[in-house]
Structure formats: structure tokens, C-alpha cells
Structure 1
């Protein structure tokens, strides 16, 4: 649960321009706005409500406590401004490659095209492989989400296959997804 006592920004790790941390009460409103932006949520079945955002943040906090990782809240270090999330999360939908650890990102539109997703994802891979000793990371996106697939390639991931996502069967335009993968011993670009 998000409490006021956690309302300070202690970074778990940093990249050149970004700080990665646990979630704070002050993130709820901004993350709700990000999740309600049709442009950000273009490749999801629907925008998310404030309640859904709050439930997501609580899941991430619980996962961080239990596993040492989550989709981290991310700030720009120069301004301390919260811009969205980049990080790792467990995926357990029904598939031949799950359960797996997924790397993902969701950043507010005004911070797109600055290389934050790529920089942040590279740093999260480093944290996963070197600090947490995770052996393999996957990334999943709808086939039509070419921007996310470009980030997957930039961070050194390799395409494994296309698949039909079981949780997207009611959204045909999104159901065909790509699966990318990177292993601990692979060189990152």
C-alpha cells in the first residue's frame, strides 16, 4: 500500500539521465493521466481508470518487495520529474514461454523520442543480469507496435517468434504479438 511515509525519492539505481525507484503517492495522479492517454495506450485494449492504475501500482510495490524488481517508477534526474515506468515484471498468462520476466516501458507522450525507453531498458537489463542474477528476460508487444519493437532491437534483444496473445483474443488488431528475448551472457548493444 502506498503511504505518505514513503514519499521521498530514493533511487534503487540510476542511468545517465534517469532514476529508478519504488512508487510514491505523488505518482498516482500522473500515472493515471498517462494510462488515460489514448496515444500512450494505442496498443492496449483500452485506457485504464484511476482505480486500475492504483491497483497496478500496488501490484508493482508488492512485486518489488517480493522479488527485487517491478515496472519501476522513473524520474528524469535533472528535474526529478516523474515520467512513467520502465522495468521488469513477471508474466504468467497461458503460453509455452511463460512464466517469464518481461521488460517493459510506458512513458508520457511529452517525453517520447528522447531515448528514455532505450536508455532505461538497457539499465534495467544490467540491473537484472548483474544485481539480480536473472538469466533471461523477454519482451512482448503487439506486432503493430513497431516503436516498442524498435526499442527491443536497440537494447540487444532477439526476436523469438510471433504468437497470439491469449489475453488479447477480444482485440484482433492487437492479438498477434512479437516475443523477444535476451540472455544474461549476451552482449548488450
Structure 2
């Protein structure tokens, strides 16, 4: 399937390139960037995650794209939509997620890219709903979910983390397709 590229006024959500692996690992290997995840990733784990993201795009034509600044940085982070591969009270579902490099945070890139991805999801894909989730301590992410118009829907235990793990509990947000 031909991978989608989404272009906005200042950002491009595009398929992956080999040169994206180094800046992705800079995020995934950074303890501060990964503080709300179970662990930092080794280079091999980061590359394997990128391969899974690329495989999703190859299969569906969409997924977690690389965010490129139009006329600027070739790698701001990754943002996109993905089918959730595990079972929870809200699955099957498509999630929206983001991982932005530290140098590009607090500049609106995550929100702009997420709005492009949501427009694609509700427009081109005709999704009925998109979900997002994070740990309660990740206030920047759940605040972004709120700015995107998402509504809180309680908490759930992440099925890939043991019940006694400090990051087991996640908050869930939902966004229904616009009516009209």
C-alpha cells in the first residue's frame, strides 16, 4: 500500500527514511524523554520499534509518521495513528500518539501534527473514534489531549505492564468523529 504523506502549513507527516533512526534513538534513549514509559530503549529496541511503525504504515498506508518541519528540521519527532495491538476495555481502537524531540517541545509541533493526523483519520479513513492514553503524571500529554477536544474516560491498567508497576495505571481520552 502506498504510504500517505500529510502536509500542513508548517509540518509534513511523512513515511520513514533510514536517516530517521538516529534522531529517533536520541528520543527513545533519553531518560527524560522516556520518563513516562516503562524504560528507555537501547538502539536495537528503538530500531525495532521504528521497524514496527514502518510495517504498520506499509500494511495500512498510515501510522506513526515522521514529523518534518516544512523548510526546517527534517526530524521533529513522530506523530500518528495506530491500531492498538493489545486488548483493553476500549479496544479494538485506533490511538493517536506523539513523541517529540526535546529541542522541538513547547512550540506547538505535537498539537499541529496531531491535528493533521486527526484530520486524516476522520476525513480520509472515516474513523468513528480515536483514543489516546498516558500515565496520570504525564500532564503535558493529557493537556494536549484536552486541547485536541478529547474527553477523559477514566483509567485502565495497561495490559503490557505488571499490575504492581508504577506506570501500570493510564488515563484514557476519546475523541468521536465530528458530526455533520
- Secondary structure of 2:160 counterpart: helix
TM-score, structure 2 as length reference: 0.92
Kept in 2, the 8 Å contact 1:35–1:47? The answer is yes
1:27 maps to which residue? Answer: 20
- Larger RCO, structures 1/2 (Cα 8 Å, 6+ apart): 2
Deviations 1:102-160 (A, max 9, x none): 10000111111001111111111001110111111000101111110001001111111
Residue 31 (structure 2) pairs with residue 38 (structure 1) = yes
Could you list the per-position Cα deviations for residues 79-110 of structure 1 after superposition, in whole angstroms to 9, with x for gaps in the alignment? 14211101011113231111211100001111
Structure 1 outlier segments of 4+, above 4 Å: none
Deviation readout 1:29-72 (Å, 9 max, x if unpaired): 11111100111101001101111111112211221122121111
In 2: Cα distance, 1:186 partner to 1:160 partner: 20
> Among 131, 136, 148, which residue is 1:138 paired with?
131
CA contact (8 A) 2:152 2:173 kept: yes
Alpha-carbon RMSD: 1.8
Structure 1 contact 144–174 (Cα < 8 Å) conserved: no
State the distance in 2 between where 1:177 and 1:32 align: 24
Partners of 1:145 and 1:169 in 2: CA distance: 19
Structure 1 segments unaligned to the other structure (5+ residues): 1-9
Equivalents in 1 of 2:13, 2:4: separation in Å? 5
Among candidates 80, 84, 91, match of residue 87 of structure 1 = 80
Shift of 1:185: 2.2
Which residues of structure 2 form unaligned runs of 5+?
Answer: none
State the partner residue of 2:53: 60
SS at match of 2:166: helix
1:168 to 157, 161, 174: 161
Identify the residue that residue 150 of structure 1 maps to in structure 2.
143
Measured at CA, do residues 33 and 95 of structure 1 come closer, stay the same or move farther in structure 2, by a change above 3 Å? same
